[in-house]
Amino acid sequence: MTSYLIRRIVALIPVLIGITVISFGVMHLAPGRPTDAATDLNVKVSLEARERLNQLYGLNDPLPVQYGRWVGRLARGDFGASFHDGRPVLAKIAERVPITLGINLCALLLTLAVAVPLGLATAARAGSRLDRGVTTLLLIVFSAPSFWLALLALGFFGVELRWVPVSGLQTLLADRWPLWRQWLDLGRHLILPVTILALGDLVIYTRYLRGNLVEVLQQDYIRTARAHGLPPRRVLYRHALRNALLPFITMLGFALPGLLGGSVILESLFGIPGLGRLFYDGVMGRDYPVIMGLVVLGAVLTLAGNLLADLAYAVADPRIRYNER
């Protein structure tokens, strides 16, 4: 296990270097210099001051030198300061993480709460009318763009019926309310974005689980369990489900890039101040340090997520460990 871990970590190094090279390349696709955005709108910045900024960021140096210096700062955890308010990028990202993460966790729980029973029901009766009906319905839901569903839901439940607020996470001045009302308020703001998010994942998770279950149910150990006379429910829940859920660990490890990307549109639409919104505002305002910070951090976290998922899988599934030796 230790040698496996060491090999995996060593293999990460070239990938990490590649991530920084591509991010750096993207940053230099921008027309003009990054400092232009910080100074263009400000008439008080003289040419001389602009030159000083270029000196400060070393933008007159050759690219490899700039790259080396940038990676050096990243390694020390210095992601630079936002062009907009001068605050450290890392702090700006850190304060948004709980919002995006919280919403996605809620959505994940909701997804699993529906996907597991649905997957079990369809896999246990694979090929039945129920199975075909649910599978077709899921394909239809899967084809509807989430931002369209979100717009329709906002228009109907928010604007037409006025059941839920249309934007943000908090009603104005809600912080003066008693705590229970604040929580209720938060829930009312969250219900649409969380449901829309969950709906998108629901399809993927249900189909994935159904596929795994159908495969697991054909294994010898399931036949053995059945031959022992175990009740079908017990075989399904104790023997099949546990094995069919294993690959989910890998899937969760790979979920991060989609989660971050998906949050851009949904958070902009619902006015939620999370990571996706931070990125969108960064792109619209040409706030290069914020954009690059999120791109690099997103990729590095994905890498870490994959590694963790692989390790968790090796811990959860002995077959992997034996094969590695």
Interface positions with another protein (CB under 8 A): 14-15, 18-19, 22, 26, 29-31, 132, 139-140, 142-145, 147-148, 151-152, 154-155, 158-160, 166, 256-262, 264-265, 268-269, 279-280, 283-284, 286, 291, 294-295, 298-300, 302-303, 306
Rounded least distance, CB 46 to another protein, Å: 26
d(CA 12, CA 9): 5
Distances (CA, A) of 296 to 33, 77, 221: 19, 12, 44
Nearer to another protein, 135 or 171 (CB): 135
Q: Which is nearer to another protein, 84 or 226 (CB)?
A: 84
Nearest approach, Cβ of residue 211 and another protein (Å): 11
Phi and psi at residue 88, to the nearest 5°: -60, 135
- Rounded-to-integer distance, Cα 102 and Cα 80, Å: 26
Report the nearest approach of another protein to the CB of residue 146 (Å). 9
Residue 29 vs 75, nearer CB to another protein:
29
Distance CA 269, CA 166 (A): 9
- Distances in whole angstroms, Cα of residue 31 to Cα of each of 26, 28, 34, 207: 11, 8, 8, 44
Cα separation of 209 and 204, whole Å? 9
268: burial class by Cβ within 10 Å (0-12, 13-18, 19+)?
Answer: middle
Q: Which helix (H) or strand (E) holds 68?
A: helix 63-75
Least CB distance from residue 41 to another protein, whole Å?
A: 17
Cβ partners under 8 Å of residue 9, min gap 6: 307
Cβ of residue 106: shortest distance to another protein, in angstroms? 20
C-beta of 12: minimal distance to another protein in Å? 10
Kindly tell me which of 91 and 152 has the beta carbon lying closer to another protein.
152
Return the SS3 of 163: coil
**For residues 88 and 158, which CB has a smaller minimum distance to another protein in the complex?**
158
Nearer to another protein, 200 or 239 (CB): 200
By beta-carbon proximity to another protein, the closer residue of 239 and 286 is 286
Name the minimum Å distance from CB 304 to another protein.
10
Phi and psi at residue 301, in whole multiples of 5°? -65, -35
Q: Which is nearer to another protein, 22 or 315 (CB)?
A: 22
CA distances (Å), 232 to each of 31, 210, 217, in order? 64, 17, 11
- Tell the smallest beta-carbon distance from residue 200 to another protein (Å): 11
**Three-class SS of residue 32?**
coil
